[in-house]
């Protein structure tokens, strides 16, 4: 399989990229830090292709096109870029930066990928969302809202593709708490990054529609969604 992972220099993106490369798949990786992309490529020189990309810049679609050309086509694209800052202080600059990466960058690149796969006649689109996308979390309004946006956007695209009889596959990954740089505290149900990427790798190959990296979150989310607003807003 030929897979591109957008946002591959750290965390789940890097771990998943390395696992696919180790498995013999051709992997295209992107990120802002060229030196880290080259570091990963040096580990798997025959299977990894790189393209320096900032999803907040206007040329990110052209960068994705360039990477696809280097790989002579692609079968699957995973959007792994994401930011989020928890704070009791609401700061527009911080909140909007989250939106630019998690909403604007995501939409621009996923839309291009969707149309590319429609023209190709097949393809697999995936995104790393979050349990935060099911209910608003204290101190993380843009992160919660943007992850809900990604989840619902993929659901809408999947329904559109089905209606139009496009042979596309969609995966929304719900990690829960994973020990990466994005998580600053030791939360319950925390998984190691190594274990999480193995689960993501296995389920992406199976083309599962919804991937709960820690299966227990499936049941937690079920109950989260049923808590009345008045209780939810007072309990966190």
Q: How far is CA 24 from CA 15, 27, 68, 112, 198, in A?
A: 15, 9, 18, 26, 15
At 28, which helix (H) or strand (E)?
A: strand 26-31
* Residue 184 clears pLDDT 60, i.e. is over it: no
Predicted local confidence at residue 70, as pLDDT: 96
Please say whether the beta carbons of 177 and 187 come within 8 A.
Answer: yes
Helix (H, G, I), strand (E, B) or coil at 160: helix
Domains of the chain: 2-235 (3.40.50.720)
Closest CA to 170 of 180, 159, 181, 179: 159
pTM of the model: 0.92
Predicted local confidence at residue 232, as pLDDT: 86
* Residue 86 clears pLDDT 90, i.e. is over it: no
Predicted local confidence at residue 182, as pLDDT: 61
* Residue 191 clears pLDDT 70, i.e. is over it: yes
Please say whether the beta carbons of 5 and 28 come within 8 A.
Answer: yes
């Amino acid at each position: 399989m030929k897979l591109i992972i957008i946002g591959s220099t750290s965390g789940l993106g890097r771990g998943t990229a390395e696992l696919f490369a180790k498995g013999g798949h051709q992997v295209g990786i992107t990120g802002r830090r060229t030196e880290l992309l080259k570091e990963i490529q040096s580990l798997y020189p025959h299977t990894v292709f790189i393209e320096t990309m900032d999803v907040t810049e206007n040329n990110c679609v052209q960068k994705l096109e360039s990477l696809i050309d280097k790989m002579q086509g692609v079968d699957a694209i995973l959007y792994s870029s994401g930011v989020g800052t928890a704070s009791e202080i609401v700061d527009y600059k911080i909140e909007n930066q989250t939106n630019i990466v998690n909403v604007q960058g995501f939409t621009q690149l996923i839309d291009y990928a969707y149309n590319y796969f429609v023209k190709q006649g097949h393809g697999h689109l995936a995104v790393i969302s979050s349990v935060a996308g099911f209910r608003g979390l204290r101190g993380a309004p843009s992160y919660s809202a943007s992850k809900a946006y990604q989840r619902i956007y993929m659901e809408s695209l999947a329904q559109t593709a089905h209606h139009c009889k496009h042979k596309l596959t969609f995966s929304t990954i719900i990690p829960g708490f994973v020990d990466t740089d994005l998580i600053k505290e030791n939360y319950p149900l925390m998984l190691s990054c190594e274990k999480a990427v193995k689960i993501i790798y296995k389920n992406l190959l199976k083309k599962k529609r919804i991937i709960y990296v820690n299966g227990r979150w499936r049941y937690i989310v079920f109950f989260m969604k049923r808590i009345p607003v008045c209780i939810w807003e007072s309990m966190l």
